[in-house]
Homo-oligomer: A and B are copies of this chain.
Protein backbone atom coordinates (compact mmCIF):
# COMPACT_ATOMS: atom_id res chain seq x y z
CA UNK A 1 0.00 0.00 0.00
CA UNK A 2 1.16 3.48 -0.84
CA UNK A 3 1.74 5.71 2.19
CA UNK A 4 2.47 9.37 2.62
CA UNK A 5 6.11 8.41 3.00
CA UNK A 6 6.16 6.94 -0.49
CA UNK A 7 4.59 10.11 -1.76
CA UNK A 8 7.03 12.23 0.19
CA UNK A 9 10.07 10.38 -1.13
CA UNK A 10 8.84 10.48 -4.70
CA UNK A 11 8.04 14.18 -4.50
CA UNK A 12 11.19 15.07 -2.64
CA UNK A 13 9.43 16.59 0.37
CA UNK A 14 8.71 15.53 3.93
CA UNK A 15 5.75 13.42 4.98
CA UNK A 16 4.36 16.37 6.86
CA UNK A 17 4.16 18.39 3.70
CA UNK A 18 2.19 15.61 2.07
CA UNK A 19 -0.14 15.53 5.04
CA UNK A 20 -0.64 19.26 4.67
CA UNK A 21 -1.56 18.89 1.04
CA UNK A 22 -4.03 16.14 1.82
CA UNK A 23 -5.75 18.04 4.57
CA UNK A 24 -5.35 21.46 3.10
CA UNK A 25 -3.85 22.82 6.29
CA UNK A 26 -0.90 25.08 6.92
CA UNK A 27 0.92 27.00 4.25
CA UNK A 28 2.30 25.39 1.14
CA UNK A 29 3.61 26.91 -2.05
CA UNK A 30 1.54 26.23 -5.12
CA UNK A 31 4.48 24.55 -6.76
CA UNK A 32 4.94 22.04 -3.94
CA UNK A 33 1.24 21.39 -3.70
CA UNK A 34 1.01 20.66 -7.40
CA UNK A 35 3.98 18.36 -7.31
CA UNK A 36 2.68 16.38 -4.35
CA UNK A 37 -0.76 16.19 -5.85
CA UNK A 38 0.66 14.81 -9.06
CA UNK A 39 2.64 12.12 -7.30
CA UNK A 40 -0.45 11.15 -5.27
CA UNK A 41 -2.47 10.74 -8.43
CA UNK A 42 0.27 8.77 -10.13
CA UNK A 43 0.61 6.34 -7.26
CA UNK A 44 -3.12 6.09 -6.57
CA UNK A 45 -2.69 7.10 -3.02
CA UNK A 46 -5.55 6.39 -0.63
CA UNK A 47 -5.27 7.73 2.91
CA UNK A 48 -5.24 5.15 5.67
CA UNK A 49 -8.22 6.01 7.75
CA UNK A 50 -7.14 3.91 10.65
CA UNK A 51 -3.79 5.55 11.07
CA UNK A 52 -5.46 8.89 10.90
CA UNK A 53 -8.20 8.04 13.37
CA UNK A 54 -5.61 6.68 15.73
CA UNK A 55 -3.92 10.02 16.10
CA UNK A 56 -6.99 12.23 15.70
CA UNK A 57 -9.02 10.20 18.16
CA UNK A 58 -12.06 10.44 15.98
CA UNK A 59 -13.18 8.41 13.02
CA UNK A 60 -16.00 10.32 11.34
CA UNK A 61 -17.62 6.93 11.24
CA UNK A 62 -21.14 6.38 12.48
CA UNK A 63 -23.08 3.18 12.91
CA UNK A 64 -26.69 2.34 12.48
CA UNK A 65 -27.79 -0.78 14.26
CA UNK A 66 -31.19 -2.12 13.31
CA UNK A 67 -32.99 -5.23 14.44
CA UNK A 68 -34.25 -6.58 11.15
CA UNK A 69 -32.68 -5.72 7.85
CA UNK A 70 -35.50 -7.33 5.91
CA UNK A 71 -38.14 -5.16 7.58
CA UNK A 72 -39.11 -2.24 5.33
CA UNK A 73 -39.64 -0.01 8.33
CA UNK A 74 -35.97 -0.26 9.20
CA UNK A 75 -34.63 -0.08 5.68
CA UNK A 76 -36.58 3.07 5.03
CA UNK A 77 -35.29 4.41 8.31
CA UNK A 78 -31.79 3.52 7.14
CA UNK A 79 -32.22 5.69 4.08
CA UNK A 80 -33.07 8.66 6.25
CA UNK A 81 -30.11 8.09 8.52
CA UNK A 82 -27.83 7.75 5.53
CA UNK A 83 -28.97 11.01 3.99
CA UNK A 84 -28.54 12.94 7.22
CA UNK A 85 -25.09 11.47 7.86
CA UNK A 86 -23.85 12.29 4.41
CA UNK A 87 -25.06 15.85 4.72
CA UNK A 88 -22.73 16.37 7.68
CA UNK A 89 -19.75 14.61 6.18
CA UNK A 90 -19.96 11.42 8.19
CA UNK A 91 -19.72 7.96 6.79
CA UNK A 92 -22.38 5.48 7.85
CA UNK A 93 -22.14 1.77 8.27
CA UNK A 94 -24.99 -0.61 9.05
CA UNK A 95 -25.31 -3.52 11.36
CA UNK A 96 -28.18 -5.95 11.75
CA UNK A 97 -28.90 -7.44 15.15
CA UNK A 98 -31.77 -9.64 14.07
CA UNK A 99 -33.67 -8.96 17.31
CA UNK A 100 -30.94 -10.91 19.05
CA UNK A 101 -29.36 -9.49 22.15
CA UNK A 102 -26.23 -11.54 21.54
CA UNK A 103 -25.74 -10.29 17.98
CA UNK A 104 -26.37 -6.82 19.26
CA UNK A 105 -23.61 -7.24 21.78
CA UNK A 106 -21.23 -8.42 19.07
CA UNK A 107 -21.99 -5.33 17.05
CA UNK A 108 -21.51 -3.08 20.04
CA UNK A 109 -18.09 -4.63 20.55
CA UNK A 110 -17.25 -4.03 16.92
CA UNK A 111 -18.43 -0.47 17.25
CA UNK A 112 -16.41 0.16 20.37
CA UNK A 113 -13.25 -1.31 18.95
CA UNK A 114 -13.73 0.51 15.68
CA UNK A 115 -13.92 3.70 17.71
CA UNK A 116 -17.00 4.94 15.93
CA UNK A 117 -17.92 8.52 16.75
CA UNK A 118 -21.52 7.61 17.48
CA UNK A 119 -24.29 5.07 17.13
CA UNK A 120 -27.89 5.15 16.09
CA UNK A 121 -29.52 2.11 17.57
CA UNK A 122 -32.85 0.36 17.62
CA UNK A 123 -32.32 -1.74 20.74
CA UNK A 124 -33.34 -5.39 20.63
CA UNK A 125 -35.16 -5.18 23.97
CA UNK A 126 -34.86 -4.04 27.57
CA UNK A 127 -31.99 -6.46 27.90
CA UNK A 128 -29.96 -4.13 25.72
CA UNK A 129 -29.32 -2.11 28.86
CA UNK A 130 -25.83 -3.46 29.53
CA UNK A 131 -24.84 -2.79 25.93
CA UNK A 132 -25.96 0.78 26.19
CA UNK A 133 -24.20 1.15 29.49
CA UNK A 134 -21.10 -0.06 27.80
CA UNK A 135 -21.43 2.62 25.14
CA UNK A 136 -22.08 5.25 27.75
CA UNK A 137 -19.13 4.15 29.83
CA UNK A 138 -16.88 4.43 26.83
CA UNK A 139 -18.26 7.80 26.07
CA UNK A 140 -19.75 6.90 22.69
CA UNK A 141 -22.81 9.05 22.02
CA UNK A 142 -25.91 7.21 20.91
CA UNK A 143 -29.51 7.88 20.01
CA UNK A 144 -32.22 5.29 20.47
CA UNK A 145 -34.75 4.64 17.75
CA UNK A 146 -38.28 3.33 18.04
CA UNK A 147 -37.71 1.72 21.42
CA UNK A 148 -36.68 2.98 24.81
CA UNK A 149 -34.75 1.07 27.42
CA UNK A 150 -35.80 1.66 31.04
CA UNK A 151 -32.99 2.85 33.19
CA UNK A 152 -31.05 4.45 30.38
CA UNK A 153 -31.47 8.14 29.74
CA UNK A 154 -30.63 9.19 26.21
CA UNK A 155 -31.84 11.03 23.17
CA UNK A 156 -34.57 9.03 21.53
CA UNK A 157 -36.88 9.11 18.54
CA UNK A 158 -40.15 7.33 19.12
CA UNK A 159 -43.40 6.79 17.35
CA UNK A 160 -46.64 7.73 19.03
CA UNK A 161 -47.25 4.08 19.55
CA UNK A 162 -49.85 4.20 22.25
CA UNK A 163 -51.91 6.65 20.27
CA UNK A 164 -51.45 4.45 17.23
CA UNK A 165 -52.79 1.42 19.02
CA UNK A 166 -55.72 3.47 20.24
CA UNK A 167 -56.53 4.64 16.74
CA UNK A 168 -56.49 1.11 15.41
CA UNK A 169 -58.83 -0.15 18.07
CA UNK A 170 -61.12 2.87 17.71
CA UNK A 171 -61.29 2.19 14.02
CA UNK A 172 -62.24 -1.41 14.63
CA UNK A 173 -64.85 -0.44 17.19
CA UNK A 174 -66.33 2.15 14.86
CA UNK A 175 -66.84 -0.59 12.30
CA UNK A 176 -68.76 -2.67 14.77
CA UNK A 177 -66.07 -4.94 16.16
CA UNK A 178 -66.48 -5.97 19.76
CA UNK A 179 -64.17 -8.93 20.19
CA UNK A 180 -60.75 -7.58 19.33
CA UNK A 181 -57.54 -9.57 19.78
CA UNK A 182 -53.94 -8.38 19.95
CA UNK A 183 -50.85 -10.21 18.87
CA UNK A 184 -48.01 -8.21 20.23
CA UNK A 185 -44.25 -8.26 20.56
CA UNK A 186 -42.67 -9.45 23.78
CA UNK A 187 -43.25 -7.21 26.79
CA UNK A 188 -39.51 -6.74 27.11
CA UNK A 189 -39.78 -4.25 24.25
CA UNK A 190 -40.98 -0.79 25.19
CA UNK A 191 -43.00 -0.24 22.05
CA UNK A 192 -44.86 -3.49 22.62
CA UNK A 193 -45.76 -2.38 26.12
CA UNK A 194 -47.11 0.90 24.79
CA UNK A 195 -49.18 -0.87 22.19
CA UNK A 196 -50.76 -2.97 24.88
CA UNK A 197 -51.49 0.13 26.95
CA UNK A 198 -53.09 1.89 24.02
CA UNK A 199 -55.03 -1.23 23.21
CA UNK A 200 -56.43 -1.44 26.74
CA UNK A 201 -57.25 2.23 26.95
CA UNK A 202 -59.17 2.17 23.72
CA UNK A 203 -61.14 -0.84 24.86
CA UNK A 204 -62.02 0.91 28.07
CA UNK A 205 -63.10 4.06 26.28
CA UNK A 206 -65.22 1.91 24.01
CA UNK A 207 -66.78 0.24 27.03
CA UNK A 208 -65.32 -3.11 26.12
CA UNK A 209 -63.85 -5.42 28.70
CA UNK A 210 -60.20 -6.38 28.48
CA UNK A 211 -59.91 -10.11 28.20
CA UNK A 212 -56.50 -11.68 28.57
CA UNK A 213 -57.25 -14.61 26.35
CA UNK A 214 -57.36 -12.20 23.42
CA UNK A 215 -53.74 -11.17 23.85
CA UNK A 216 -50.72 -13.12 22.62
CA UNK A 217 -47.19 -11.96 23.21
CA UNK A 218 -44.84 -13.31 20.62
CA UNK A 219 -41.39 -12.50 19.30
CA UNK A 220 -41.23 -9.85 16.60
CA UNK A 221 -38.99 -11.73 14.27
CA UNK A 222 -40.27 -14.15 11.66
CA UNK A 223 -40.07 -17.76 12.68
CA UNK A 224 -40.66 -21.00 10.92
CA UNK A 225 -42.77 -22.35 13.72
CA UNK A 226 -46.20 -20.78 13.79
CA UNK A 227 -47.65 -23.20 16.28
CA UNK A 228 -48.09 -20.64 19.06
CA UNK A 229 -50.18 -18.51 16.74
CA UNK A 230 -52.10 -21.60 15.72
CA UNK A 231 -52.93 -22.65 19.23
CA UNK A 232 -53.77 -19.12 20.24
CA UNK A 233 -56.23 -18.83 17.39
CA UNK A 234 -57.79 -22.10 18.46
CA UNK A 235 -57.95 -21.17 22.10
CA UNK A 236 -59.95 -17.97 21.87
CA UNK A 237 -63.56 -18.52 22.69
CA UNK A 238 -65.61 -16.89 21.43
CA UNK A 239 -63.38 -16.17 18.46
CA UNK A 240 -62.46 -12.53 17.88
CA UNK A 241 -63.74 -10.66 14.88
CA UNK A 242 -60.56 -8.64 14.47
CA UNK A 243 -56.87 -8.96 15.23
CA UNK A 244 -54.45 -6.13 15.87
CA UNK A 245 -50.87 -7.08 14.97
CA UNK A 246 -48.03 -5.35 16.83
CA UNK A 247 -45.86 -4.94 13.78
CA UNK A 248 -45.68 -5.78 10.11
CA UNK A 249 -43.91 -9.08 10.61
CA UNK A 250 -46.58 -10.32 12.97
CA UNK A 251 -49.30 -9.09 10.64
CA UNK A 252 -47.83 -11.18 7.87
CA UNK A 253 -47.55 -14.23 10.10
CA UNK A 254 -51.12 -13.93 11.22
CA UNK A 255 -52.51 -13.49 7.74
CA UNK A 256 -50.44 -16.39 6.49
CA UNK A 257 -51.77 -18.58 9.25
CA UNK A 258 -55.34 -17.56 8.55
CA UNK A 259 -54.93 -18.21 4.86
CA UNK A 260 -53.48 -21.61 5.60
CA UNK A 261 -56.71 -22.38 7.48
CA UNK A 262 -58.79 -21.26 4.57
CA UNK A 263 -59.95 -18.12 6.35
CA UNK A 264 -60.25 -14.94 4.31
CA UNK A 265 -59.30 -11.44 5.42
CA UNK A 266 -61.40 -9.45 6.01
CA UNK A 267 -64.42 -11.61 5.17
CA UNK A 268 -63.86 -14.10 7.96
CA UNK A 269 -61.62 -12.06 10.21
CA UNK A 270 -60.29 -8.52 10.10
CA UNK A 271 -56.58 -7.76 10.57
CA UNK A 272 -54.80 -4.46 11.15
CA UNK A 273 -51.15 -3.80 11.81
CA UNK A 274 -48.32 -1.39 12.47
CA UNK A 275 -46.01 -0.15 9.76
CA UNK A 276 -46.32 -0.62 6.07
CA UNK A 277 -45.20 -3.64 4.14
CA UNK A 278 -42.86 -1.83 1.78
CA UNK A 279 -43.40 -1.86 -1.96
CA UNK A 280 -46.03 -4.50 -1.58
CA UNK A 281 -48.40 -2.06 0.08
CA UNK A 282 -48.33 -0.06 -3.09
CA UNK A 283 -49.32 -2.66 -5.59
CA UNK A 284 -52.11 -3.93 -3.48
CA UNK A 285 -53.19 -1.54 -0.74
CA UNK A 286 -54.68 -4.21 1.39
CA UNK A 287 -53.67 -4.01 5.00
CA UNK A 288 -55.06 -1.25 7.18
CA UNK A 289 -52.18 0.00 9.28
CA UNK A 290 -50.73 2.65 11.48
CA UNK A 291 -48.09 4.14 9.20
CA UNK A 292 -45.04 5.58 10.87
CA UNK A 293 -42.66 8.06 9.35
CA UNK A 294 -39.83 5.60 9.01
CA UNK A 295 -37.58 7.92 7.01
CA UNK A 296 -37.95 10.64 9.62
CA UNK A 297 -36.95 8.26 12.40
CA UNK A 298 -33.61 7.84 10.70
CA UNK A 299 -33.16 11.39 9.56
CA UNK A 300 -34.00 13.11 12.82
CA UNK A 301 -32.20 10.53 14.90
CA UNK A 302 -29.08 11.05 12.87
CA UNK A 303 -29.30 14.80 13.21
CA UNK A 304 -29.61 14.50 16.96
CA UNK A 305 -26.69 12.12 17.10
CA UNK A 306 -24.44 14.41 15.12
CA UNK A 307 -25.38 17.35 17.28
CA UNK A 308 -24.42 15.37 20.36
CA UNK A 309 -21.11 14.41 18.83
CA UNK A 310 -20.24 17.93 17.83
CA UNK A 311 -21.33 19.57 21.06
CA UNK A 312 -19.07 17.28 23.00
CA UNK A 313 -17.26 19.09 25.73
CA UNK A 314 -19.88 21.80 25.76
CA UNK A 315 -22.28 21.80 28.68
CA UNK A 316 -24.40 18.69 28.39
CA UNK A 317 -27.87 19.38 27.08
CA UNK A 318 -30.82 17.54 28.59
CA UNK A 319 -31.92 14.42 26.74
CA UNK A 320 -34.28 14.99 23.88
CA UNK A 321 -37.29 12.92 23.13
CA UNK A 322 -38.88 13.22 19.73
CA UNK A 323 -42.25 11.60 19.23
CA UNK A 324 -43.37 11.17 15.64
CA UNK A 325 -47.06 10.97 14.83
CA UNK A 326 -48.79 7.73 13.95
CA UNK A 327 -51.23 7.93 11.10
CA UNK A 328 -54.09 5.57 10.48
CA UNK A 329 -54.18 4.39 6.86
CA UNK A 330 -57.46 2.72 6.13
CA UNK A 331 -57.42 0.06 3.44
CA UNK A 332 -59.33 -3.12 2.89
CA UNK A 333 -58.44 -5.54 5.63
CA UNK A 334 -61.26 -4.61 8.00
CA UNK A 335 -64.85 -5.69 7.53
CA UNK A 336 -67.79 -3.57 8.57
CA UNK A 337 -69.89 -5.68 10.87
CA UNK A 338 -73.68 -5.49 10.83
CA UNK A 339 -74.87 -3.82 14.00
Cβ contact within 8 Å between A252 and B282 = yes
B1, B79, B94, B113: the one contacting A47 at CB < 8 Å is B113
Measured in the bound complex, the distance between the Cα atoms of B276 and A179 in whole Å is: 35
**Chain B residues, Cβ within 8 Å of A75:** 69-70, 75
B50, B76, B110, B283: the one contacting A70 at CB < 8 Å is B76
- Grouping DSSP codes into helix (H, G, I), strand (E, B) and loop, the A interface class, with mixed when no group exceeds half, is helix
Q: Which residue of B lies closest to A46 (CB)?
A: B112
Cβ contact within 8 Å between A79 and B72 = no
**Chain B residues, Cβ within 8 Å of A284:** 255, 280, 284, 286
Least CB distance, A229 to chain B, in whole angstroms: 13
Cβ contact within 8 Å between B278 and A46 = no
A209 at the interface (CB under 8 A from B): no
A150 at the interface (CB under 8 A from B): no
Cβ contact within 8 Å between A283 and B109 = no
**Chain B residues, Cβ within 8 Å of A47:** 113
B59, B96, B110: the one contacting A94 at CB < 8 Å is B96
B51, B137, B283, B286: the one contacting A54 at CB < 8 Å is B51
B46, B50, B78: the one contacting A50 at CB < 8 Å is B50
Cβ contact within 8 Å between B252 and A283 = yes
A114 at the interface (CB under 8 A from B): yes
Cβ contact within 8 Å between B278 and A255 = no
Cβ contact within 8 Å between B283 and A255 = yes
Cβ contact within 8 Å between B44 and A137 = yes
**Chain B residues, Cβ within 8 Å of A79:** 69-70, 96
Given the known A-B contacts A51-B54, A75-B69, are A248 and B112 also in contact in the complex, defined by CB atoms under 8 Å?
A: no
B78, B277, B279: the one contacting A248 at CB < 8 Å is B279
From 243 to 301 in chain A, residues with beta carbon under 8 angstroms from any chain B beta carbon are: 248-249, 251-252, 255-256, 259, 277-284, 286-287
A337 at the interface (CB under 8 A from B): no
Residues of A near any B CB (own CB < 8 A): 1, 44, 46-51, 53-54, 59, 69-70, 72, 75-76, 78-79, 82, 91, 93-96, 109-110, 112-115, 134, 137-139, 222, 248-249, 251-252, 255-256, 259, 277-284, 286-287
30 CB-based A-B contacts, threshold 8 Å: A1-B139, A44-B137, A46-B113, A48-B54, A48-B115, A49-B110, A49-B114, A50-B53, A50-B54, A50-B59, A54-B54, A69-B94, A70-B72, A70-B75, A70-B76, A72-B278, A78-B96, A82-B96, A91-B110, A93-B94, A94-B94, A94-B96, A248-B279, A249-B279, A255-B283, A255-B284, A256-B282, A256-B283, A278-B278, A280-B280
Beyond A46-B112, A69-B79, A252-B279, 16 extra complex contacts between A and B, CB < 8 Å = A50-B53, A50-B114, A54-B54, A69-B69, A70-B76, A70-B278, A72-B278, A93-B95, A248-B279, A255-B282, A259-B283, A277-B278, A277-B279, A278-B278, A283-B286, A283-B287
